[in-house]
Structure 1
Amino acid sequence: MLRALKNKLIYLCLLALLFLSCKSNYISKNLGNSFYNNQFTGLLVYHPKTKDTVFKYNADKYFTPASNTKIFTLYTALQMLPAQIPAFKYGVENDTITIQGIGNPTFLHPFFNDSTALKMAKNYKNVNLILNNLEDEKFGPGWAWEDYDTYFSPEKSSFPMYGNVVAISNQDSLQSIPKALKNHVHFSESNKRRQFNDNTFYYNPKRKDTIEVPMVIDTLLLSRLWDDVLPGIVSISKYDGKKLDKIAYSSVPSDSLYKRMMLVSDNFLAEQMLILASSTLSDTLSSKRIRDTILNKQLKDLKQKPRWVDGSGLSRYNLFTPTSFVQVLEKLHNQIPQQRLFNLFPAGGASGTLTNYYLGEGKPYIYAKSGTLGNNYSLSGYLITNSGKTLVFSFMNNHYRKPTTDVKKRMQLIFEWLRDNY
């Protein structure tokens, strides 16, 4: 009886191995197509419940991840930040409130429009702002300098306002948000939207849409912006090391911030989230400090330690392996209820950057973060099979010269095979 049972178990195991081998052969054959000859590709597909590696190809090699980096930023924020976004630190003495920036990106942001700081400051005769407690440079290491006037490359700062961009439109006349910069906007057919290191902005009169242009963040600009919303009572001071123990909280729930970052791949939010997370370690803000802390503590078990230099993935200095992404995605899946977790990710064919790709049959089967730079496209996240299994994957493509849409179509063949057959 025991021998018969043992033989049956051996048979079932061999059958399962044969089944997995067939899948691997299909994926291997697909990746062996001449389409992939002149690019670098890596793929890891993992079943977290059974701990089985479904498929592995160059999974331990380093790739340029682009915005897949935001998965690590999301993990950091979920580890370090509370359910409500911290807005700033402050202290009160008589009729003066001292406010210290901690990187909160939601203040007067065009999407979130949080006004916590403004509402509190209105109750005092004097407002003292401390804004120079950030160690980061205004741009991340390896960012492309020529992107200084593009919406996706705002400067980093300790107390952002308006998302650190000016929104310019032309209805009956040129308009700007913030209004304090309206006189700095000029009609021009220039290819650039702003002078290189000056808050002089240009709007092409042939346009009909609203454009967002990064502001040059300096003391002069911040004084002007604050004086516009709270005239005559705001002064800016240097950080003197004095500890402010009170914390005010934004009106924005943390998940709303995370979801916005992930769905539209917002670089500004990603960078500021790391700075904000660093405020839980020290009053001196540093995205490097929080990255090092997370890598050396919560993620010390990663099989390949990444080169992680920014929060957004704008830098080509970042280097991550598919294995590292799968490890972090598995941690998230273990720690966060699935419904909440999937709500933070773009859904294939339904939301965010995946609205037009990886369409499911009646409902999404892919919940994942894309990452795109010139000649690089990656996708890492979760795949739901028709049999109800949840797979974790990271599919990374570097250095191709073909259209990115063609790369996505090839990837979709593999995703659909896994969905239908695993």
Structure 2
Amino acid sequence: MVNFRKYISGAAVLASGFFLAQSTVSTVLYSQAYDNQKTNLNLPSPVTSVVERTILSAKELVDINVNTMVTDPVLKNAEWGFVVYDPKTKKVISSYNENTPLVPASTTKLLTTETAMNLLGENYRWMTQLEYSGSIDENGVLNGNLYVVGSGDPSLGTNKGGALSYREIVSDFISGISHEGIKRVNGDIIIQTALFKGNISRLPENVVWLENNNYYLPVGTTREISPANEKLIVKKGGNFSVEKKYFYVSPYANQMVYADKYEGDGILTTKLPDAPAYLANTLRASMVKSGIAVSGKVTPRMTDPMPEARKLVSAYKSPTLGDIIYYTNQHSDNSLAEALLKTVGFQKLGDQTSESGRIVVTTHLKEHAFDVNGLSYIDGSGLSRSNTVTPISQAKFLTSLMDEKYYKTYLTSLPVGGQSGTLKRMFIGTGNGQIFAKTGTLNKVKTLAGYLKTNSGKTLVFSLMVNNYAGSVDMVKKRMEKLLEPALDL
């Protein structure tokens, strides 16, 4: 714990206590108001002269706020850590429990998104291709198959980060089919998505299963996907309660997960669709509606030991990785974060599992001198309570990125206090436009880590993580704002 008494003389402490009782700690000790009251203090003239000239520095004010938070009813029984770090001098300016491993919640995404940007490049894109096999006769009949070839695009059809909707992608595919002169397909539409198998997977170990009657799943919303294609009937009399309105059973993972909507009568809408299958089914329906008959059906083919010769009809490129990371960090999108974890695992180890992704991320961090003491990296999104990291390692990690060529893109992806993303409603007054940071929230966990632009134009790095606090999350957010407020003057 910081002992701020070493900064001020005993007499100054007495005087400062008088003024702190009447004003905020950010008030300087010398003011006109003091001149108007000093005759009532009955202090000896020499001491009065010293007090008049005493001004608390920004660092001292930060340290005072740290001491105040230690005894605050909301935080006094909590586990929390804090550090403000100067990237130029490579020195800690102020800290508390900076070496304590804490649950980082969604600030885990700082590690996931940076690893992806470092290893893949900010201009990386996923490709989803339409191809055909066989031949086209003089009547425009394709005697062969159409192939929808996916690459694990996590934004496919979602409009996230500028991604196209399914309708737009299908429209482009049909234009390509028409350009090839195809008027009828005597064959199937084959889905080939062996990379991620449609992004279907089980949850990471130790994920947050139930909080406030909500089940959390590291796969995000599918607003643009028609739920009519993705329903599962649950037998009545099962372990479902009408009051718990956010339950559904994934038809893919065979376990309970989180959902936005409970439709009643045992019908539960899934949030985990087979996106390539939906694209292929939409393509088939749209082709038939456009007068292009398809004799076969939509069928998946995860492995293809004897692949047919195929010709490219049309290709859809996802938004850039930089765009995807911007959306991920601004909206704290768990689905995209988990997909990025799988992507780096596949690109480096040839395996699309979360475990391979974890190996790639932790190896990358070690190679870049990340302090792994206290680090436990379980998932890409931060939903697992088994994730831990220390404030000082977060701060030094963020410092190291300032020399990377993609730093500007990475910095821009972070929410801005009072202005954008998950920080839009924090730092609305003081600190507005000066805090660039990733937020994290779980039940009784609130975290914040990123960059701080001071009033003098310097860039500082900070990490603030609070676990097991009392009261509401809004109470903790206000205390976070209060702690960082004087740091703007460092």
- Report the TM-score range of the alignment, normalised by the length of the smaller protein: 0.7 to 0.9
Counterparts of residues 309-320 of structure 1 (less than 5 Å): 309-320=378-389
Identical pairs, percent: 27
1:104–1:276: 8 Å Cα contact kept in structure 2?
Answer: no
Is the Cα contact below 8 Å between 1:70 and 1:262 reproduced in 2?
A: yes
In structure 1, the residue corresponding to 2:485 is in which secondary structure? helix
Cα shift at 1:290:
2.5
| Partner secondary structure for residue 129 of structure 1 | strand
Q: Do structure 1's residue 86 and structure 2's residue 126 form an aligned pair? A: yes
* Distance across 2 between alignment mates of 1:384 and 1:304: 27
Structure with more of its chain in strand, by fraction:
1
Q: Deviations over 1:91-146 (max 9, x none)?
A: 86545465554321111114433559744586485543234544983322222345
Matched, 1:76 2:123: no
Unaligned segments of structure 1, at least 5 residues: 1-17, 156-162, 168-175, 206-211
Which entry has the higher C-alpha Rg, 1 or 2? Answer: 2
Paired amino acid for 1:412: E
| Residue equivalent to 1:269 | 336
CA separation of 1:248 and 1:51: change in aligned 2, threshold 3 A: farther
2:249 is matched with which residue?
A: 196
1:303 aligns to 2:371 (yes or no): yes
Q: How far 1:292 moved relative to its partner?
A: 1.2
Give the alignment of 1:208-219 within 5 angstroms: 214-217=270-273
Match of 1:3 in 2: none
CA contact (8 A) 2:262 2:269 kept: no
1:196 to partner: Cα distance: 2.7
2:93 is paired with a residue whose SS is: strand
Confirm or deny: 8 A CA contact 2:112 2:361 kept in the other structure: no
d(CA) in 1 for partners of 2:208, 2:99: 27
SS of equivalent residue, structure 1 residue 34: coil
Deviation, structure 1 residue 29: 2.2
Asked whether 1:138 is paired with 2:202, we answer yes
Deviations 1:241-261 (A, max 9, x none): 7899x9966241222211111
Say whether the 8 Å CA contact 2:401–2:407 is kept in structure 1. no
TM-score, reference length from structure 1:
0.75
Q: Determine the structure 2 residue equivalent to 1:391.
A: 460
Paired residue total? 379
CA distance in 2, matches of 1:315, 1:270: 13
AA partner of residue 103 (structure 1): G
Give the superposition deviation at 1:411: 1.5
Q: 1:396 to 1:284 in 2, by over 3 A?
A: same
Root-mean-square deviation over aligned CA pairs: 4.0
**Distance 1:138-1:366 versus aligned 2 partners, 3 A rule:** same
More displaced 10-residue stretch of structure 1: 69-78 or 292-301: 292-301
Between stretches 116-125 and 67-76, larger displacement belongs to: 116-125
**Matched residue, 1:346:** 415
Q: Could you list the per-position Cα deviations for residues 43-96 of structure 1 after superposition, in whole angstroms to 9, with x for gaps in the alignment?
A: 121111221211222112111111111111111221123414213488865454
Q: Equivalent residue of 1:299, what SS? A: helix
Aligned to 1:67: 106
CA distance in structure 2 between the aligned counterparts of 1:327 and 1:249, rounded to whole angstroms: 39
Q: Name the CA distance, whole Å, in 1 between partners of 2:193 and 2:422.
A: 33
SS at match of 1:382: strand
Residues 309 and 248 of structure 1: CA distance in aligned 2, closer, same or farther (over 3 Å): farther
Could you say which residue in structure 2 is the equivalent of 1:109?
Answer: 158
Q: Name the stretch that deviates more: 394-403 or 31-40.
A: 31-40
Q: 1:371 aligns with which of 423, 428, 440?
A: 440
CA 131–338 in structure 1, closer or farther in 2 if over 3 Å, else same? closer
Q: Is the 8 A contact 1:108 1:114 kept in 2?
A: yes
CA distance in 2, matches of 1:383, 1:318: 25
Following the alignment from structure 2 to structure 1, what is the Cα–Cα distance between the partners of residues 264 and 131? 45
Judge conservation of contact 1:154–1:164 (CA < 8 Å) in 2: no
Amino acid at match of 1:63: L
Q: Distance in 2 between matches of 1:283 and 1:331?
A: 28
Letter in 2 for 1:192: K
2-structure distance, mates of 1:329, 1:20: 22
Matched residue SS, 1:43: strand
Q: 1:165 aligns with which of 222, 225, 230?
A: 222
Partner deviation per Cα, 1:273-301 (whole Å, 9 max, x = no partner): 21223332244312321321232234332
- What does residue 289 of structure 1 align with? 356
Contact 1:152/1:267 (8 A) holds in 2 = no
Given that 2:248 and 2:269 are in contact with CA atoms closer than 8 Å, whether structure 1 keeps it comes out as no
> CA 1:299–1:242 in structure 2 vs 1: closer, same or farther (change >3 Å)?
farther
Structure 2 counterparts to residues 117-128 of structure 1, below 5 A: 118=170, 119-120=172-173, 123=177, 125=185, 126-128=188-190
> 3-state DSSP class of the match of 2:366?
coil
Report if the CA contact (8 A) 1:152-1:268 is conserved. no
Distance 1:363 1:106 in 2: 31
Q: Specify whether residues 356 and 336 from structure 1 end up closer, same or farther in structure 2 by C-alpha distance, changes over 3 A only.
A: farther
- Is this contact kept in 1: 2:329–2:415, CA < 8 A? yes
Equivalent residue runs for 1:314-333 within 5 Å? 314-333=383-402
Q: CA deviation at 1:314?
A: 1.0
What letter matches 1:355 in structure 2? K
